[in-house]
Structure 1
Amino acid sequence: MALEAASPKDDAQAPLPGGRLHWLRAGVLEVALAPEAGGRIAQIRYDGVDWLVGEQEGGAAAIGWGCYPMVPWAGRIRQGRFAFDGKAYALPRNFGGHAIHGVGFSRPWHIDSLGADSAALSLELPEDKYWPFGGRATQVIRVLADSLELCLAVQAGDQAMPAVLGWHPWFRKPDQVLFSPSAMYPRDGEGIAALPCIAPTPGPWDDCFINEAQVTLVCGEQQLRLRADTDHWVVYDGAAQATCVEPQTGPPDGFTLVPNHLQPGQRLQLTFELEWESDDLG
Structure 2
Amino acid sequence: MAPETALPRDDAQAPMPAGHLHWLRAGRLEVALAPEAGGRIAQLRYDGVEWLVGQDEAGQATIAWGCYPMVPWAGRIRQGQFRFGGRHVGLPLNFGAHAIHGVGFSRPWRIDHVGADSALLTLALPEDGYWPFGGIATQAIHVRSNRLALQLVVQAGDQAMPAVLGWHPWFRKPERLLFAPSAMYPRDGEGIATLPAGRPAPGPWDDCFIHQGDVTLVSAGQRLRLRADTDHWVVYDGAPHATCVEPQTGPPDGFTLAPNRLAPGQRLQLRFELEWESDGPG
TM-score, scaled relative to structure 2: 0.95
For residue 256 of structure 1, report the CA deviation from its aligned partner.
Answer: 0.1
Distance in 2 separating the partners of 1:59 and 1:7? 21
Q: What residue in structure 2 maps to residue 92 of structure 1?
A: 92
Deviation at 1:233, TM superposition (A): 0.1
Closer, same or farther: CA 9–156 of 1 in aligned 2, 3 Å:
closer
- Secondary structure at the counterpart of residue 226 of structure 2: strand
1:267 paired residue number: 267
- 3-state SS in 2 of match to 1:239: coil
The 5 A counterparts of 1:243-282 are 243-279=243-279
Distance 2:123 2:216 in 1: 31
In the alignment, which residue of structure 2 is the partner of 1:141? Answer: 141
User: Could you tell me which residue of structure 2 aligns to residue 194 of structure 1?
Assistant: 194
Aligned-pair CA distance for 1:9: 4.2
- Whole-Å separation in 2 of the counterparts to 1:153 and 1:42: 20
Q: Distance in 2 between matches of 1:256 and 1:7?
A: 22
* Equivalent residue, structure 2, for 1:224: 224
Aligned to 1:49: 49
8 Å Cα contact 2:235/2:243 also seen in 1:
yes
* Displacement after TM superposition at 1:11 (Å): 3.8
Residue 10 (structure 2) aligned to one of 9, 12, 17: 12
Residue 15 of structure 1: CA displacement? 3.0
Do the aligned residues in 2 keep the contact of 1:172 with 1:241 (CA within 8 Å)? Answer: yes
Please give the alpha-carbon distance, in whole angstroms, between the structure 1 residues aligned to 2:83 and 2:8. Answer: 23
- SS of the residue 2:58 aligns to: coil
Report the counterpart of residue 179 of structure 1 in structure 2: 179
SS of the aligned residue for 2:56 comes to coil
Runs of 5+ in structure 2 lacking a partner? none
Please state how far the C-alpha of 1:10 moved relative to its aligned partner: 4.6
Cα distance in 1 for partners of 2:25, 2:91 equals: 39
Query: AA paired with 2:138?
Result: T
Mapped partners of 2:7, 2:56: distance in 1: 22
1:67 aligned partner: 67
Name the counterpart of 1:126. 126
Equivalent residue number for residue 3 of structure 1: none
Take 2:114 and 2:7, find their aligned partners in 1: how far apart are those partners?
A: 34
**Which digits, 9 at most, give the CA deviation of each residue in 1:92-139, with x for residues without a partner?**
011120000000000000000011000000000000100000000000
SS in 2 for 1:56: helix
State the Cα RMSD in Å. 1.3
CA distance in 1, matches of 2:10, 2:111: 20
* Equivalent residue number for residue 30 of structure 1: 30
Cα distance, 1:279 vs. partner?
Answer: 4.7
**What are the superposed Cα offsets for residues 215-257 of structure 1, whole Å, 9 maximum, x if unpaired?**
0000021000000000000000000100000000000000000
The amino acid across from 1:90 in the alignment is G
| Matching of residue 237 in structure 1 with residue 237 in structure 2 | yes
Amino acid at match of 1:18: A
The residue that corresponds to 1:111 in the other structure is 111
1:199-224 CA-partner distances (Å, limit 9, x unpaired): 00110000000001100000021000
Which 4+ stretches in 1 moved above 6 angstroms? none
Structure 1 residue 7: Cα displacement: 7.1
How far apart in 2 are the matches of 1:41 and 1:256?
A: 30
Q: 2:81 matched to 1:101? A: no
- Output one character per residue of 1:33-84: Cα deviation in whole Å (capped at 9) or x when no partner: 0000000000100000000000111113100000000000000000000000
Partner of 2:210: 210
1:141-170 Cα offsets, whole Å, 9 max, x none, are 000000000000000000000000000000
- Does the CA contact (< 8 Å) of 1:112 and 1:119 recur in 2? yes
Partner SS for 2:57: coil
Provide the rounded CA distance (Å) in 1 between the counterparts of 2:212 and 2:5. 36
SS in 2 for 1:63: helix
The corresponding residue for 1:160 is 160
- Distance in 2 (CA, whole Å) between partners of 1:16 and 1:164 is 24
Task: Determine if contact 2:16/2:60 at 8 Å carries over to the other structure.
Answer: no
Q: How far apart in 2 are the matches of 1:15 and 1:122? A: 22
Identity %: 75
The offset of 1:12, in angstroms, is 2.5
Checking the alignment, whether the CA contact within 8 Å between 2:18 and 2:36 is kept in structure 1 is yes
